[in-house]
Structure 1
Amino acid sequence: MQVCNVCREKTPKYRCPACKIRYCSLDCYKSHKDICLPVEQPAPVPPEAKAASNTEPWTVEDLLHDEDVTDKVPLQRLQQLGQSKELQDLLCNPHLRQLLRTIDSADSKPDAMKVAMQEPLFVEFSDRCLKIVDNEAKSLPSIETDDL
């Protein structure tokens, strides 16, 4: 059963014409329209550009440089995110994908994150990501002082 993407309580009856998320009432629509991000139609890619883009422009390892951040999630835990059925299901939502694209292309990523965190769907996505990473961290063996 589907639930409203705004209040997460009722069955949705309507779909936003701009971003296609589902909502249940006028109140939900009013609260959503202030942060609505219309779905952008991708520009057609010429065949010669498709052939040139067969190789991935970057890898996860390229993003994990020591000088970039002090708190990092190990690659093994990041791979757990890619294997999560829950996250895959969430990423089927075009509104969430658009939110992620908007954050990725923003000049001020912290400001874009603040806006996205007002969206219940994005909060659910980020909570699930953190839960997967945190659960994985808790499952790693710890050293007890009695063992030393």
Structure 2
Amino acid sequence: MIMGKQCGICNNAESKYKCPCCLIPYCSVTCYRQHKEIPCVKPEPAASSDEKVVPDEQPPREFEENNESGWRLKRSQLQAVVESDDIRRMLRDQDLQSLIRKIDSAVNAEEELDKAMEGPAFREFADKILATINAEEHVLAAES
């Protein structure tokens, strides 16, 4: 088992999360709240001639199998989803939010996803996500 970083707040537990602003590792909501008592800032990148280039593809996560890494979205595809007014509008629906949370927290997420796809609202949402991703994929292919 690969050990993670130690919590940067309590220094007692393995961190599971990172502050979205300053990227300090923390282990729990309690530590996050303690960290947020003092405003943090995003770390400035080190000025050097050999700056790191952020890859367009996400690196595989440790639990993914080798054959799953091709299913990760490119940064530009994720950005297209974030910028879609239609998707943002759909996500305001409380029932859709509840359904997404149910899928995300399910022991068998694939089974819950299959159930959700039976409903027209979730199917419309999924179709919109796929259309947005595929449109961006075609743009990327045309640029190549």
| Residue identity in the other structure for 2:60 | D
Structure 2 Cα separation of the partners of residues 129 and 65 of structure 1: 21
Residue 128 (structure 2) pairs with residue 118 (structure 1): no
Structure 1 Cα separation of the partners of residues 142 and 100 of structure 2: 34
Identical-pair percentage:
23
The aligned residue for residue 89 of structure 2 is 89
Q: Per chain length, whose mean CA-contact separation is higher, i.e. which structure has more relative contact order (CA < 8 Å, sep 6+)?
A: 1
The aligned residue for residue 131 of structure 1 is 131
Decide which moves more: 69-78 or 86-95.
69-78
RMSD of aligned Cα (Å):
2.9
Stretches of 4+ aligned residues off by more than 6 angstroms: none
Unaligned regions of 5+ residues in structure 2, if any?
1-29, 41-54
Structure 1 Cα separation of the partners of residues 120 and 81 of structure 2: 20
Quick one: structure 1 residues 74 and 53, their matched pair in 2 at CA, closer, same or farther if it must change by over 3 Å? farther
Q: Secondary structure at the match of 2:72?
A: coil
Alignment of structure 1 residues 1-148 onto 2, 5 Å: 51-52=33-34, 54=36, 64-66=58-60, 68=64, 69-70=68-69, 71-142=71-142
Q: 2:96–2:121: 8 Å Cα contact kept in structure 1?
A: yes
| Residue identity in the other structure for 1:136 | E
Unaligned regions of 5+ residues in structure 1, if any?
1-47, 56-60
The aligned residue for residue 19 of structure 1 is none
Compute the displacement of 1:65 (Å): 3.8
Q: Secondary structure at the match of 2:73?
A: coil
Deviations 1:18-57 (A, max 9, x none): xxxxxxxxxxxxxxxxxxxxxxxxxxxxxx78834859xx
Q: Secondary structure at the match of 2:60?
A: coil
Quick one: structure 1 residues 143 and 113, their matched pair in 2 at CA, closer, same or farther if it must change by over 3 Å? same
How many pairs were matched up?
91
